[in-house]
């Protein structure tokens, strides 16, 4: 475990933004297994891996229980290999049975989803009847809890298989609900797991844009929990950027709008939280509003702070996820039909940078979701629960994922994170133990749900959600 550095994040940002690889050579051939190959992430993450500098011999195994989507993903991966002229060193495997291809994997990338689009309306519409208004609903709240209850048992089965077939593999999780997924893994599995999200990268770029400074000159520090991590330091050439930004945010909130004509990018919830709590948060206003008791409990507050799409639109994810999924499938088929050479650039998703840094033993900084008492050490964030999952800066090198010790968050920021972590604690327990009672307790502590429902209503809503999704929730008692 390493202590935090006071320097900014310029080194990482230069590497990721210029999309150059890291120096050095790969010491061995690699095997990477991707679970949930039908995911939107497959094309981008695989493309990133193919762009690693000095790519060694690579076996890339794709797994999906949907054979149709698996076939499309495998054909697309093979097409990418051919267009990159890497057939001599990259082999693509595909199977609906993970046990047939996982053995010997050095890295596992998990993008699994349980139930496809079938439960997304239940996750949104049943809570809405009780006054719980969700925008995304896949990481916290009733929607996030039930996505976790469906997914975590499958996730833990995957990790048990990995313990037997590839116990030394590093597991990179992209599946939501991120905190509950990583928390359950940390409590049950011996596998090394890190949860990866792109909200830190995206928001750090956004803040550079808000401040009008070059990204590579931005000096920042960020810590908290997934989707609720705080940019506690934001400087440019030694100057604190927050005083000027807060004046700008206050003026926009007073006007009831941000710059431009697109309400989605006004980002009113995040700006309001920055004014009242002291720092900017990593996730969009729509996602963030679900982690809090303030903005979605009355119609007037929704109208004032929550705008369209990711700006906080009611039921946005439930209304759009099925069509997004169909479009993603259609886009893949269109790429396969195209006669033009496929081209892509390396993205700022962390997976390929982790693989390259670990293999070449070249230090690289990321932000990952790990247990607060990582590898049995003291808490990374001192004033958050030691048995919880946090999102902090991590140094990647030949030793794997090395989280940095942040210290204490400002108390008001820690308190908001801790309120969510109590819900995640019981949500993970409910999934591990298949306990309906623990699921009720989790929603009793959910900040948004508790802001609008009585305990009796929360219990009734939870029972209704269990009945509606019984097909995907075997064994819960």
- The reported pLDDT for the residue numbered 375 is 82
pLDDT above 80: residue 319: yes
Find the catalytic residue in 130, 174, 210, 291.
Answer: 291
- The reported pLDDT for the residue numbered 348 is 87
CA–centroid distance for 116 within its chain: 18
- The reported pLDDT for the residue numbered 373 is 93
pLDDT-derived band at 19 (thresholds 50, 70, 90) equals low
Tell me if the pTM is above 0.85: yes
**Is the CB of residue 359 less than 8 Å from the CB of residue 26?**
yes
**Is the CB of residue 37 less than 8 Å from the CB of residue 393?**
no
pLDDT 10s digits, 121-167: 999 999 999 999 999 999 999 999 999 999 999 999 999 999 999 99
Q: Which residues contact 232 (CB under 8 A, 6 or more apart)?
A: 221, 222, 223, 279, 409, 410, 413
Find the catalytic residue in 198, 205, 236, 294.
Answer: 198
Helices (H), 345-410: 350-360
Conformation bin of residue 237: beta by default, left when phi > 0, alpha when psi is -120 to 50: left
pLDDT above 90: residue 247: yes
Can you list the domains of the chain with their CATH numbers? 2-119+138-199+340-363 (3.40.50.720)
pLDDT 10s digits, 29-83: 999 999 999 888 899 999 999 999 999 999 999 999 999 999 999 999 999 999 9
pLDDT 10s digits, 430-469: 999 999 999 999 999 999 999 999 999 999 999 999 999 9
pLDDT 10s digits, 266-298: 999 999 999 999 999 999 999 999 999 999 999
Parallel/antiparallel/unpaired status of strands 218-225 and 2-3 = unpaired
Please choose, from the candidates 28, 20, 84, the residue with its C-alpha nearest in 3D space to the C-alpha of residue 53: 20
**Is the CB of residue 126 less than 8 Å from the CB of residue 142?**
yes
pLDDT above 50: residue 410: yes
Radius of gyration of the chain (CA): 22
Q: What percent of the chain has pLDDT over 70?
A: 96
Distance (Å, whole) CA 405 – CA 393: 8
pLDDT 10s digits, 167-225: 999 999 999 999 999 999 999 999 999 999 999 999 999 999 999 999 999 999 999 99
198 is catalytic: yes
291 is catalytic: yes
């Amino acid at each position: 475990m390493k202590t935090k550095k006071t320097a900014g994040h310029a080194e990482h940002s230069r590497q990721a933004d210029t999309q150059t690889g890291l120096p050095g050579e790969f010491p061995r051939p690699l095997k990477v297994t991707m679970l949930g190959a039908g995911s939107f992430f497959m094309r981008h993450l695989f493309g990133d891996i193919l762009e690693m500098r000095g790519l060694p011999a690579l076996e890339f195994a794709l797994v999906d229980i949907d054979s149709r989507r698996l076939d499309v993903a495998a054909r697309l991966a093979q097409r990418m290999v051919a267009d990159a002229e890497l057939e001599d060193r990259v082999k693509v495997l595909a199977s609906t049975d993970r046990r047939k291809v996982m053995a010997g994997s050095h890295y596992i990338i998990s993008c699994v989803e349980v139930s496809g689009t079938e439960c997304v309306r239940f996750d949104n519409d049943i809570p809405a009847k009780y006054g719980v208004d969700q925008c995304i609903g896949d990481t916290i709240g009733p929607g996030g809890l039930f996505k976790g209850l469906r997914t975590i048992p499958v996730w833990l089965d995957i990790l048990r298989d990995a313990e037997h077939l590839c116990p030394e593999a590093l597991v990179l999780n992209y599946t939501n609900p991120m905190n509950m997924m990583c928390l359950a893994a940390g409590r049950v599995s011996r596998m090394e797991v890190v949860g990866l999200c792109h909200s830190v990268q995206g928001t750090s770029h956004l803040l550079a844009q808000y401040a009008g400074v070059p990204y590579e000159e931005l000096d920042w520090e960020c810590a908290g929990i997934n989707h609720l991590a705080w940019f506690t330091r934001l400087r440019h050439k030694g100057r604190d950027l927050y005083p000027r930004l807060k004046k700008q945010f206050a003026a926009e909130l007073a006007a009831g709008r941000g710059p431009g004509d697109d309400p989605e990018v006004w980002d009113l919830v995040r700006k309001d939280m920055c004014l009242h709590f002291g720092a900017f948060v990593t996730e969009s206003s729509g996602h963030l509003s679900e982690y809090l008791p303030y903005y979605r409990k009355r119609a007037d507050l929704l109208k004032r702070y929550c705008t369209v799409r990711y700006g906080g639109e009611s039921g946005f994810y439930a209304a759009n996820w099925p069509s997004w999924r169909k479009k993603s499938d259609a886009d893949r088929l269109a790429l396969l039909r195209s006669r033009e050479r496929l081209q892509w650039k390396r993205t700022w998703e962390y997976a390929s940078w982790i693989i390259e840094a670990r293999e070449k033993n070249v230090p690289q900084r990321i932000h990952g979701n790990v247990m607060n008492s990582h590898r049995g050490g003291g808490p990374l964030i001192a004033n958050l629960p030691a048995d919880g999952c946090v999102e902090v800066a991590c140094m990647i090198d030949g030793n794997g994922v090395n989280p940095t010790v942040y210290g204490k968050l400002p108390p008001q920021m820690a308190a908001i994170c801790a309120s969510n972590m109590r819900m995640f604690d019981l949500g993970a327990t409910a999934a591990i133990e298949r306990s309906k009672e623990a699921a009720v307790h989790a929603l009793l502590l959910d900040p948004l749900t508790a802001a609008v429902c009585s305990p009796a209503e929360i219990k009734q809503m939870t029972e209704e959600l269990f009945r509606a999704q019984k097909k995907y929730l075997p064994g819960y008692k």
